[in-house]
Amino acid sequence: LPAGGVSLRLRSTRVALEGINKPVIDRIIRVDHAGEYGANRIYAGQMAVLGRSGVGAVIQQMWNQEKDHLKKFNELMVAYRVRPTVLLPFWNVAGFVLGAGSALLGKKGAMACTVAVEESISDHYNSQIRTLMEEDPEKYKELLQIIKQFRDDEREHHDIGLEHDAAAAPAYAVLKTAIQLGCKAAIFLSERI
């Protein structure tokens, strides 16, 4: 099973939408899909620069998990009838540029990017978990399970980045802050547009 064993088996390609808070679920699935799409593009950019380096296998491993995450959110988009953000073409380019640009700073720069992004995403997933728990934990049980597993994967990527000297990247604090501000803006826009 992909992504740590999380699987959502649906009897059809759509789920019953009665009784769910459709605006909340739409916002969650739309932004998570956009985030996983952007993460895939970041890792693609890092692999384009560092794929043959000593850290290439580590980046590939994290990227493989992100591919599983994106696949699951693609399925959820259909099941819950959620439209994607119109910003996907922008995230396509911006994600790749961020990944390649950070990798051009070397392994430490790529790992600093990973730490910044994955910390932002895991914090965002925690916020979504709180929202769904307040709504109805039983009603959203499967979605909660998926988000919790993906949050744990993102925390693992964050820790891998730290283990691979992210904090030793040039201007680490500035780089991390700038990337995290970009993540917050991307989250805000992708939830709404």
| pLDDT value, residue 5 | 55
CB 59 within 8 A of CB 46: yes
| Domains of the chain (ranges, CATH numbers) | 20-191 (1.20.1260)
**Comparing 2-6, 24-28, 42-46, 95-99, which segment has the lowest mean pLDDT?**
2-6
pLDDT at 149 over 50: yes
| pLDDT value, residue 191 | 93
In this prediction, residues 94-98 reach a mean pLDDT of: 98
pLDDT at 19 over 50: yes
pLDDT at 10 over 60: no
Q: Tell me the pLDDT tens digit for each residue of 163-178.
A: 999 999 999 999 999 9
Tokens at 182, concatenated: 């970009």
- Calculate the alpha carbon distances from 170 to 49, 87, 179 in Å: 17, 30, 14
Residues sharing a CB contact under 8 Å with residue 137, sequence separation 6 or more, in sequence order: 144
Its sign, for the CA torsion 67, 68, 73, 76, is positive
| pLDDT value, residue 12 | 45
**Is the overall model pTM greater than 0.95, yes or no?**
no
Using the 8-state DSSP alphabet, how is residue 83 labeled? P
| pLDDT value, residue 11 | 45
Residue type, 103: A
At residue 17 the predicted structure's pLDDT band, cuts being 50, 70 and 90, is confident
CB 73 within 8 A of CB 84: no
